[in-house]
Structure 1
């Protein structure tokens, strides 16, 4: 009997201890989950947009946000010619604003002088009143006095209003990106303008300068390129060739888009320079000096200089590939055997 009483007593103690300690292991987990949920539901710092009411559903479209560009500290580390031009414009506009705020409108004639620090082939300043009246424009002095607030770019973007809004922001300065069509040009070019606010004796101005993105970055759409039917049933649209661009770019190769329809092939030909093909779509056989290479999507093939090559489309869809030549493609480097 004593043994039974002892066992029953031990069981009772264990039961009481179990009740007292119940939930002690689960509580930290529950608290952690609550904190995690709160963290997830809170909007991250710096994200624009209105706060959502509790329990309001957020659609997938609302949740998708455009990626932000690198911050200014990261951009300041750029080593390209474009990065240097951006910094040069920013520094010169800010220096001009300091001078204008110290000496006032008597500087305007100096801004218009040819080959002055404010008007040369590398840098040109403009000045508006804060309301959008152009007061200094060295490249077009006839436009001085015109109202520019309603100025639109080639796509109808209200860049006049954007200049004003940018300098009236908390930062007081910033870049405006737009498409600008110069007289005599058939197509607009992408232009970036840095503007900064200046004040003198209670009068406020907008000081700015611009550069063209096309001077540094080349973007071409395949839809804008024409396919040339070269001898030997070769259908090629040249995307980029430094020899055919009216600007100095640091490239020694060309890129073209080639197509071969089902059942067709191009004539045997050789390139006196190395060539690389990248298969975009379709399948086929490429003969390199008589050696067959089966083609399929997402494949790269290096073709040695001087090799005789011909490509057959053996599939039921158009064979599409990029042809990369080094140096850039030229007729004198091509020989077709018809």
Structure 2
């Protein structure tokens, strides 16, 4: 997946330069700061991080007011403290779990040697963050969502507080994948077999359940040696980036040789077809804007 990620960044850089978005530093510094602040305000991921911080701070305020009498309130289901996958957890700094709403029977147990899905020392990471000079911070790790066995990326905000002479740490986290589109190449399903090509959807806002504020799509094509991609016309421009192999792309019957690392833009409404002329799979990314839909494609006989 690292290869795919690097290529996408490369393509985005090319697009940015092509649109003339490079301006002088003097003209853009102020506006860039404003854009960053606006983007943070509009980002669901940013909002979720802020909600975790606010929830932990509110919990600490309640602890400051009520001490340990606040703990039963954190266990109340469908409250501001405990709702679905959102909840407050309280530990002692020596590694004793004091409040854990999803599994109250686990309270009183030691979490000092708790590890995440990948074997990282999660318990010690959380405690060390709370005992740091700042007394707070974020811990990122992998943990299965409730009812699932596969791990998901989770980000937790932890902060230190006290009740009398006892030091506690309060934390609350969220699953990052609920707010970002995150796929591993090996987990992506085949969406079509077009002629002799296998097509895999990397990203398409028309093919996912979550709302994606984009209007482009990226598909991963694989054409076996000696096979071909049948003639077609796309109503929108289409960009190909070759990952592996070699072949020939015909645009209006004009041949263009394909090789690893090559980027080709096919104009809108242009007739095109492709064949693998090498000894290994011809792999490439197909980028469409607007995002691919069946009605954008005309298959030729």
TM range (shorter): 0.7 to 0.9
Matches within 5 A, 1:1-338: 79=40, 80-120=43-83, 123-227=86-190, 230-331=193-294, 333-337=296-300
CA contact (8 A) 2:200 2:221 kept: yes
> Secondary structure of 1:105's partner?
helix
**Cα distance, 1:229–1:94 mapped onto 2, change above 3 Å:** closer
How many equivalent pairs are there? Answer: 263
CA positional deviation for 1:93: 1.4
Could you give the per-residue CA deviations for residues 33-89 of structure 1, whole angstroms, max 9, x where no partner exists?
xxxxxxxxxxxxxxxxxxxxxxxxxxxxxxxxxxxxxxxxxxx95713222322332
**Cα distance, 1:216–1:183 mapped onto 2, change above 3 Å:** closer
Name the CA distance, whole Å, in 2 between partners of 1:177 and 1:156.
13
**Cα distance, 1:231–1:86 mapped onto 2, change above 3 Å:** closer
CA positional deviation for 1:253: 2.1
Name the CA distance, whole Å, in 2 between partners of 1:225 and 1:115.
35
CA positional deviation for 1:324: 1.5
The worse-fitting range, judged by mean Cα deviation, of 85-94 and 293-302 is 293-302
CA contact (8 A) 2:197 2:224 kept: no
Gaps of 5+ in 1: 1-75
**Cα distance, 1:229–1:116 mapped onto 2, change above 3 Å:** closer
Name the CA distance, whole Å, in 1 between partners of 2:185 and 2:144.
21
Gaps of 5+ in 2: 1-35
**Cα distance, 1:206–1:332 mapped onto 2, change above 3 Å:** same
CA positional deviation for 1:279: 2.1
Q: Scaled by the length of structure 2, what TM-score is found? A: 0.75
Please state which structure has a larger fraction of its residues in strand: 2
Could you give the per-residue CA deviations for residues 85-142 of structure 1, whole angstroms, max 9, x where no partner exists?
2233223313322331342011122222344332345842111222333222333334
Name the CA distance, whole Å, in 1 between partners of 2:203 and 2:75.
38
Name the CA distance, whole Å, in 2 between partners of 1:152 and 1:243.
38
CA positional deviation for 1:333: 4.5
Could you give the per-residue CA deviations for residues 208-227 of structure 1, whole angstroms, max 9, x where no partner exists?
00011212333333233355
**Cα distance, 1:186–1:251 mapped onto 2, change above 3 Å:** farther
Computing the radius of gyration over CA atoms, which structure comes out larger, 1 or 2? 1
CA positional deviation for 1:306: 4.3
CA contact (8 A) 1:152 1:158 kept: yes
Q: Scaled by the length of structure 1, what TM-score is found? A: 0.68
The worse-fitting range, judged by mean Cα deviation, of 268-277 and 201-210 is 268-277
Q: Which has the higher contact order (CA 8 A, sep 6+)?
A: 2
Backbone CA RMSD of aligned residues? 2.8
> Secondary structure of 1:139's partner?
helix
